């Protein structure tokens, strides 16, 4: 066959190439950046001068009751509706199979009436077992970090402030264990809201819900301190308060999202790679930008010092990151920023001398001084996924084989006849309808495998195409082999979506699901990744961010790394 | 209970998979059910009847013989399956899409509509689909329905499909 190689229609040669970017090891070293969704949300709320108020509070002396937090924008109002519960310690579980939580939440579209609250009270505390409606945009729950929550309440009730180091070590008073959106359990479909400017970005509503949840966690602690300490009790100092984010505990449930939303993932990565290419291409870096970069490098260094994990892999990576940042700082001390394209030179140096953690951290730091080049790219991070792409059945079998050879060499060169290359299988648990990872050769159930092992499916498609005539149409082939429809449709997208595939074997015996989780969570803006196994991870969200009552008076988007003043 | 479109998509995809469809078809069935529900058409009820009957009598639901794209007939003596036919038409959309097409007997014609609508979008034409007393027109995301009495019918023959330029929007 003599089909001519086609260039990658959607690929800009100045971006880091997909075969480098889309490997799990690098994706699993991802860091938040200016494009992360938490930062995008707060930039927008500040720019549009949103107002916030706690409009309803019936929490009693046991910490049980309701609260409503309104976010009032120029066009619409959204309300976080909170149900606080009295949860016995033995029922507190972060696992998705839990049935009760310290607090449950929904983000309501508008301002809820008394009858809305009555309806929600019957459903939101049940989470997956309840039903919400198209008036609700998200559904979530959170559990207390019991030790820190008690410590903070004790301190405030006694009339004194908690220690900063205690707050920073844990980092949150509550951690969410699931934040559902996009039509789950009857909630509003994304189609209903994505054209609203304030919610058009990915996960914007979920991030708003988490940010308001953070305000509630502190309000609840202060409330309990007042109950306990009466007039002696004090409020949490606003600078200390910012040391608290919202924790999150995430397991395998998030991993299939990355495979099932190829267009969206492609668009996220392209926005990030375009941002990086823009800053690397800057010919002359002005001195104030250099100073800004060095300032953020110091703060990233502080962040790495404060980042702890007991997971052996992550603990080693954090040590490596600290050493990388030290090496980078020394290199920069003697680095001449007056050369042509200095940031490009710096990045190239990192590829030679730093670990993947260090390289990715530097890449994200390079964007910090350049909001004018980076921030607008957030508008490119959405995708309409309500329609399936059509299969081009007029493509010939020969052309399809060529396309696979060109873009899926990473899959075609894997030997899937070997057990270790397909030793796992993804499935959905019957009890909680949650994604799980099974051992193909030790556990039953692989006949119910989910089609997440794209590499293996592509490999099998390629083998099957090899037995057919090059001139046959793909439509005719698929009529006889419908088992390849999904993967043929997918593969045809890759020319225009070069970053849509994780270019690794997602069912290999040594695959680390936490690498997949970190990719998505870093786009959210999460920090302090702390894997608790190879399958679930704890993170922090919105740590050091302004609270609703101070958003308008705090500097723009200056919170994603810890402030240097905490060195004192 | 009121379901979100996302739930309808996910549940119908799962139902199709459970009924033995390959993943690609199951995805298409989920999206088809979602599309019909978005227009308040009884797609879920028709899909449920279709999946049940196909499960009991798979031999009745035939794939199309497409040697003549203007007149689509079944490959065997049975009648056309709406999903296999719709998917084939989508796969072949473009240069092969005829200005007007006729069909032999086809089961559950409502399930064919989302596939035809997707073609209408891709070739930027207005779709007219007529069977029994039902007449559907679809263009640029707008659906006009003349009579919905026979919308959910099980089996019918002598369908007429026509396409015309979308430049004049539907009234």
User: pLDDT tens per residue, chain A (568 residues)?
Assistant: 333 444 455 678 899 999 999 999 999 999 999 999 999 999 999 999 999 999 999 999 999 999 999 999 999 999 999 999 988 887 777 776 677 889 999 999 999 999 999 999 999 999 888 899 999 999 999 999 999 999 999 999 999 999 999 999 999 999 998 888 888 888 888 888 888 989 988 999 999 999 999 999 999 999 999 999 999 999 999 999 999 999 998 888 888 899 999 999 999 999 999 999 999 999 999 999 999 999 999 999 999 999 999 999 999 999 999 999 999 999 999 999 999 999 999 999 999 999 999 999 999 999 999 999 999 999 999 998 888 999 999 999 999 999 999 999 999 999 999 999 999 999 888 777 788 889 999 988 888 889 999 999 999 999 999 999 999 999 999 999 999 999 999 999 999 999 999 999 999 999 999 999 999 999 999 999 999 988 889 999 999 999 999 999 999 999 999 999 744 3
Provide the angle, in degrees to the nearest 10, between the axes of the packed helices B43-56 and B23-38.
Answer: 150
Helix axes A312-333 and A287-306, enclosed angle (nearest 10): 150
Contact, A82 vs A27, CB < 8 A?
A: no
Chain A residues in contact with B119 (beta carbon < 8 A): 390
Q: Contact A388/B28, CB-based, under 8 Å? A: yes
Query: Which pLDDT belongs to residue A96?
Result: 67
CA A52/CA A70 separation, integer angstroms? 6
CA of B26 to nearest chain A CA: how many angstroms apart?
A: 9
* A529 contacts A310 by C-beta, under 8 angstroms: no
Q: Are A183 and A190 in contact (CB under 8 A)?
A: yes
Alpha carbons A23 and A410: distance in angstroms, whole number: 10
HEC secondary structure over A397-429: HHHHHHHHHHHCHHHHCCCCCCHHHHCEEEEEC
Dist CA A465 CA A460 (whole Å): 9
- With residue A492 as reference, give the H or E element that holds it: helix A485-492
Start-to-end C-alpha separation, chain B: 34
Instruction: Show which residues on chain A lie within 8 Å of chain B, measured between beta carbons.
Output: 131, 133-134, 182-191, 386-388, 390-394, 451, 474-475, 478-479, 482-489
Q: CB under 8 Å to A212, separation ≥6 — which residues?
A: A52, A69, A71, A80, A107, A548
User: Closest approach of chain A CAs to the CA of B96, in angstroms?
Assistant: 9
Residue B111 belongs to domain spanning: 5-165
DSSP B25-89: HHHHHHHHHHHHHHTT--HHHHHHHHHHHHHH-GGGEEPEE-S-TTEEEESSSSEE-HHHHHHHH
What residues of chain A lie within 8 A of the CB of B23, using their CB? 451, 483, 485-486
Domain count, chain B: 1
**pLDDT of amino acid B96:** 61
Using alpha carbons only, how large is chain A's radius of gyration in Å? Answer: 25
C-alpha B136/C-alpha A343 separation (Å) is 59
| Contacting residues of B for A191, CB less than 8 Å apart | 5, 38
CB contact under 8 A, A393 and B24: no
Confidence at residue A1, expressed as pLDDT on a 0 to 100 scale:
36
Tell me the helix, strand and coil percentages in chain B, rounded to 5: 40, 25, 35
- Whether B170 is in a domain gets the answer no
For residue A371, the model assigns a pLDDT of 97
Q: Which of A131, A394, A486 sits opposite B24 (nearest CB)?
A: A486
Residues ≥6 apart with Cβ < 8 Å to B9:
B30, B31, B33, B34
The C-alpha atoms of residue A448 and residue A436 are separated, in whole angstroms, by 12
Distance from CA of B70 to the nearest CA of A (A): 17
Give the number of other CB atoms < 10 A from CB of residue A71.
21
Interface test with B, best of A109, A128, A183, A493 (most B CBs within 10 A): A183
What mean pLDDT, rounded, does chain B reach? 86
Which of A245-259, B32-46, B138-152 shows the lowest per-residue confidence on average (mean pLDDT)?
A: B138-152
Whether residue B171 is contained in a domain is answered as no
Contact between A485 and B122 using a beta-carbon 8 Å cutoff = no
**Dihedral through CA A207, CA A208, CA A214, CA A215, nearest 10?**
170
Looking at the domain assignment, is residue B154 inside a domain?
A: yes
Cβ contact (<8 Å) for A183 and B87?
no
Which pTM does this prediction carry?
0.94
Strands B159-165 and B125-131: antiparallel
Spatial distance between the Cα atoms of A522 and A525, rounded to a whole number of angstroms = 5
pLDDT at position A53 is: 97
- Is B102 a domain residue? yes
**DSSP state, A381?**
S
Sorted by sequence, the CB contacts under 8 Å of residue A151 that are 6+ apart come out as: A162, A166
**CA torsion, points B105, B110, B115, B119, in degrees to nearest 10?**
90
Q: Among B159, B163, B162, which Cα is nearest to B73's?
A: B159
| Angstroms from B149 CA to nearest CA on chain A | 28
Torsion of CA B45, B49, B55, B59, to 10 degrees: -130
Q: Is A495 helix (H, G, I), strand (E, B) or coil?
A: coil
Reduced 3-state DSSP string for A452-477: CCHHHHHHHHHHHHCCCCCCCEHHHH
User: B25: distance to nearest CA of chain A, Å?
Assistant: 7
Residue A177 phi/psi, 5-degree rounding, is -115, -10
Query: Quick check: A478 and B94 CB within 8 A?
Result: no
Q: pLDDT band for position B167 (50/70/90)?
A: low
What ipTM was predicted for this assembly?
0.92
- pLDDT for the residue B98: 67
CA atoms of B5 and B167, how far apart (whole Å): 30
Give the pLDDT score at A289: 97
Tokens of A313: 């892999």
| Domain-embedded: residue B115 | yes
Distance CA A459, CA A95 (A): 35
Q: At what angle do helices B23-38 and B5-18 cross, to 10 degrees?
A: 140
Instruction: Look at residue B97 in the predicted model and tell me its pLDDT.
Output: 65
Distance between CA A525 and CA A266 in Å, rounded? Answer: 18
pLDDT number for residue B162: 83
Count the alpha carbons within 13 Å of A161 in the hemisphere toward its beta carbon. 12
């Amino acid at each position: 066959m003599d089909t001519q190689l086609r260039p990658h229609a959607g690929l800009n040669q100045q971006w880091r190439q997909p075969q480098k970017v889309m490997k799990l090891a690098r994706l699993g070293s991802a860091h938040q950046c200016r494009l992360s969704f938490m930062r995008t949300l707060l930039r927008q709320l500040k720019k549009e001068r949103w107002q916030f108020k706690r409009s309803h509070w019936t929490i009693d002396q046991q910490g049980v009751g309701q609260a409503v937090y309104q976010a009032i924008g120029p066009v619409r109002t959204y309300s976080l509706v909170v149900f606080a519960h009295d949860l016995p310690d033995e029922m507190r579980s972060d696992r998705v199979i839990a049935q009760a939580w310290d607090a449950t939440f929904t983000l309501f579209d508008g301002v809820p009436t008394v009858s809305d609250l009555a309806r929600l009270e019957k459903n939101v505390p049940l989470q997956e077992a309840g039903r919400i409606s198209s008036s609700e945009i998200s559904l979530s729950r959170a559990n207390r970090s019991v030790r820190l929550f008690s410590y903070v309440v004790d301190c405030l009730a006694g009339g004194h402030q908690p220690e900063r180091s205690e707050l920073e070590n844990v980092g949150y008073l509550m951690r969410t264990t699931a934040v559902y959106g996009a039509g789950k359990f009857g909630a509003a479909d994304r189609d209903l809201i994505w054209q609203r400017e304030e919610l058009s970005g990915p996960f914007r509503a979920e991030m708003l819900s988490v940010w308001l949840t953070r305000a509630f966690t502190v309000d609840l602690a202060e409330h309990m301190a007042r109950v306990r300490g009466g007039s002696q009790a004090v409020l949490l100092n606003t600078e200390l308060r910012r040391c608290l984010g919202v924790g999150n505990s995430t397991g395998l449930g998030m991993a299939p999202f990355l495979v099932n939303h190829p267009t969206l993932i492609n668009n996220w990565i392209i926005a990030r790679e375009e941002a990086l290419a823009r800053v690397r291409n800057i010919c002359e870096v002005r001195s104030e930008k250099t100073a800004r970069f060095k300032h953020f490098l110091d703060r990233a260094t502080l962040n790495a010092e404060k980042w702890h994990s007991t997971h052996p892999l992550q603990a080693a990576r954090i040590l490596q990151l600290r050493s990388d940042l030290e090496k980078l700082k020394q290199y920069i001390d003697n680095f001449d920023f007056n050369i042509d394209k200095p940031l490009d030179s710096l990045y190239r140096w990192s590829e030679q001398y730093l670990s993947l953690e260090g390289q990715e951290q530097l890449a994200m730091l390079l964007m910090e001084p350049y909001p004018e080049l980076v921030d607008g790219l957030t508008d490119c991070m959405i995708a309409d996924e309500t329609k399936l792409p059509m299969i081009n059945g007029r493509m010939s079998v020969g052309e399809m084989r060529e396309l696979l050879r060109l873009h899926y060499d990473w899959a075609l060169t894997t030997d899937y006849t070997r057990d270790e290359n397909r030793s796992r299988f993804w499935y959905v648990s019957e009890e909680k309808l949650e994604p799980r990872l099974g051992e193909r050769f030790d556990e039953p159930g692989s006949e119910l495998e989910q089609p997440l092992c794209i590499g293996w499916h592509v490999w099998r498609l390629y083998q099957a195409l090899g037995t057919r005539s090059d001139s046959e149409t793909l439509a005719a082939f698929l009529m006889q082999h419908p088992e390849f429809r999904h993967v043929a449709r997918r593969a045809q997208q890759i020319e225009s979506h070069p970053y849509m595939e994780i270019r690794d074997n997602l069912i290999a015996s040594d695959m680390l699901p936490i690498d997949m989780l970190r990719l998505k969570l870093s786009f959210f803006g999460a920090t302090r990744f702390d894997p608790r196994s190879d399958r679930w991870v704890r993170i922090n969200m919105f740590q050091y961010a302004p609270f609703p009552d101070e958003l308008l008076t705090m500097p723009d988007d200056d919170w994603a790394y810890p402030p240097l003043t905490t060195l004192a | 209970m009121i379901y979100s479109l996302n739930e309808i998509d996910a549940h119908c995809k799962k139902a199709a998979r459970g009924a033995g469809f390959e993943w690609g078809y199951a995805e298409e069935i989920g999206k088809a059910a979602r599309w019909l529900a978005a227009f308040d058409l009884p797609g879920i009820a028709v899909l449920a009847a279709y999946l049940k009957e196909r499960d009991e009598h798979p031999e009745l639901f035939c794939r199309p013989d497409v040697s003549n794209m203007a007149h689509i007939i079944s490959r065997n003596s049975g009648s056309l399956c709406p999903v296999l036919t719709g998917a084939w038409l989508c796969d072949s959309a473009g240069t092969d899409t005829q200005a007007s097409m006729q069909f032999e007997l086809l089961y559950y014609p409502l399930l064919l509509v989302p596939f035809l609508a997707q073609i209408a979008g891709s070739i930027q034409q207005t779709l007219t689909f007529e069977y029994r007393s039902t007449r559907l027109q679809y263009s640029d995301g707008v659906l006009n329905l003349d009579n919905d009495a026979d919308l959910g019918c099980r089996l019918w023959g002598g369908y007429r499909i026509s396409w015309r330029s979308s430049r004049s929007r539907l009234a």
